[in-house]
């Protein structure tokens, strides 16, 4: 399947817009290290691995 540049850009834009719906703003910068390490947060509370 051959896709021209404008069509590929349009597809990338649609993918980005869909992904953006699940993005969340990081407000607790001091916890950024935990986030990078892979700690899961639910409603702002770190969840311990079971």
Enumerate the domain spans of the chain. 5-47
The end-to-end CA distance of the chain, in Å, is: 46
Q: Residue 14 — φ and ψ, nearest 5°?
A: -60, -40
For the chain, percent of residues with pLDDT exceeding 90: 16
Are the CB atoms for 22 and 13 separated by under 8 Å?
Answer: no
Is the model's pTM score more than 0.85? no
Which residue did the predictor score with more confidence, 29 or 9?
9
Q: pLDDT-derived band of residue 32, with 50, 70 and 90 as boundaries?
A: confident
Q: What per-residue confidence (pLDDT) applies to 2?
A: 66
Are the CB atoms for 9 and 17 separated by under 8 Å?
Answer: no
The β-bridge partners of 41 are 46
Residue 39 neighbours by CB under 8 Å, 6+ apart? 46, 47
pLDDT digits (tens, 9 = 90+) for 12-27: 999 999 988 888 777 7
């Amino acid at each position: 399947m051959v896709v021209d540049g404008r069509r590929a850009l349009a597809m990338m834009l649609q993918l980005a817009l869909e992904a953006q719906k699940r993005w969340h703003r990081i407000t607790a910068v001091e916890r950024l290290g935990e986030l990078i390490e892979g700690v899961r947060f639910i409603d702002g509370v770190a969840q311990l691995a079971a």
